[in-house]
Amino acid sequence: MKFTLYSRSYCHLCQDMLDALQALNDPARPFSVDVIDVDADPALVARYDELVPVLFGALDEPELCHYFLDADRVGAWLARRRAAV
């Protein structure tokens, strides 16, 4: 399982969301997080500029949350994915 976190290097909310997400990681059923710097791509800046951090569980699904980690929503997403395996 993999999450995608759209982020900025100087954003404390981004680091807070990454830390909170990593706290949910289960060593028995781990997930990874791809951290994408929106400032590296003008198209990403145009799309996510003021929303970062933005977290996706799957890029073909709606975002799970932005600004702050929605632990309930992320937990439900993880439960659905783990049940499907």
Enter the tokens of residue 62: 């709606």
Residue 7 is part of which domain span? 2-84
Domain count within the chain: 1
CATH number of residue 41's parent domain: 3.40.30.10
- What pLDDT is stored for residue 46 in this prediction? 97
- What pLDDT is stored for residue 83 in this prediction? 87
| C-beta of residue 65 within 8 angstroms of C-beta of residue 56 | no
pLDDT-flagged residues of the chain (< 50): none
- What pLDDT is stored for residue 2 in this prediction? 94
- What pLDDT is stored for residue 82 in this prediction? 84
